Amino acid sequence: MASIITATTTSGLTHSADNSGVLQLASGTGNLVTVPSVTGTAMVSGNMPAFRATKSSSQTISNNTLTKVTFDTETFDTANCFASSTFTPNVAGYYQVNYSYSAQSLTTGRNYAMSGYIFKNSNIYTTFEHNITSAADQYGNTYVALVYCNGSTDNIEVYFYQNNSSSGTVLLAGSSSTTQFSAVLVRGA
Amino acid sequence: MMTLADKIVEIYPELNGTNFIKIGIIVQNDSDGKGDYIKNWSHPDFPQPTKEQLDAIK
């Protein structure tokens, strides 16, 4: 039977390095994991939030109106941090945020300016604009950002904006593989 | 039904065809059921329309 070290008080169990400062875990001959000399929370997959959400129906985006994109289908949400189309992670750290849109019902030959936005705490965090003359009825793009979140109140949302030469609407596609929003913790605080 | 952006163009026809965000106007919708609103207005020539001006346009 494996040896188990169990804490006997309510204060938990602390392993401390000696004066050398080296603390290692051995999992086999020559297999050593060195615990770095830093403070913080060790990241393992069980406490690294990750989610992905998609749309089950299309969303109409009016001309000249910066509109929050809604997502009603979760592919996964490992820490239950995604609700009301908003990601509020419960572990402090640096998150890679991915946002892809597929704009549809475009009119061939019409000029469009289209921008995806990643918001942090209701403020613009990342955006850039694409100007196109539509050659087809749809157009898509992907946005990526690295965002620090404090693990309690910081939250992330995504928006979409379009301006076109005829003031018409654009549809953001609703399916499990087109317009999508995801994030994952890549480094603890 | 006219959107808030459409109403702004009704009040200021000079803005027809412009990209609002590029001229300092942000009309926003947070998809929370509360509808469109003016998040930011910093147009150098035109003052922000009043609620009365906007409500008068049907």
pLDDT tens over chain A, length 189 residues? 688 888 887 888 888 888 888 888 888 888 988 888 888 777 888 889 999 999 999 999 999 999 999 999 999 999 999 999 999 999 999 999 999 999 999 999 999 999 999 999 999 999 989 999 988 888 899 999 999 999 999 999 999 999 998 888 999 999 888 999 999 999 988
Mark yes or no for CB contact B27/A64 under 8 Å.
yes
Do strands B36-41 and B25-29 pair parallel, antiparallel, or not at all (unpaired)? antiparallel
d(CA A64, nearest CA chain B) in Å: 6
Q: Give the position of tokens 């289209």.
A: A114
Which phi and psi (to 5°) does residue A135 adopt?
A: -105, 0
Two structure tokens written together for A82:
């995604």
* Mean predicted confidence (pLDDT) in B27-52: 97
Residues of A engaging B, defined by a Cβ cutoff of 8 Å = 62-70, 85, 113, 115, 159, 161, 163, 165, 167
Chain A residues close to B32, C-beta within 8 Å: 68
- Name the β-bridge partners of A70: none
- Decide if pLDDT at B35 tops 90: yes
Tell me if chain A has a CB within 8 Å of the CB of B13: no
Chain A residues close to B31, C-beta within 8 Å: 67-70, 85
The reported pLDDT for the residue numbered A1 is 66
CA distances from A20 to A16, A25, A163, B17 (A): 11, 15, 63, 70
The reported pLDDT for the residue numbered A93 is 94
The reported pLDDT for the residue numbered A9 is 79
Closest-CA residue to A164 (of A99, A100, A108, A117): A108
- Decide if pLDDT at B27 tops 90: yes
Q: Half-sphere exposure of residue A9, counting CA atoms within 13 Å on the CB side?
A: 4
Q: What residues contact A113, with CB distance under 8 A and at least 6 apart?
A: A129, A130, A131, A162, A163, A164, B19
User: What Rg do the C-alpha atoms of chain A give, in angstroms?
Assistant: 23
Distance CA A18, CA B18 (A): 68
The reported pLDDT for the residue numbered A88 is 98
Domains of chain A by start residue, with CATH: 1-39 (no CATH), 45-188 (2.60.120.40)
Tell me if chain A has a CB within 8 Å of the CB of B36: yes
Distance CA A174, CA B52 (A): 37
Distance CA B41, CA B20 (A): 10
The full DSSP string for A16-50 is ---TT---EEEEETTEEEEPPS--S----GGGS-E
The reported pLDDT for the residue numbered A12 is 84
Tell me if chain A has a CB within 8 Å of the CB of B38: no
Distance CA A132, CA A112 (A): 5
- Decide if pLDDT at B1 tops 90: no
Q: Give the position of tokens 């030959």.
A: A109
ipTM: 0.97
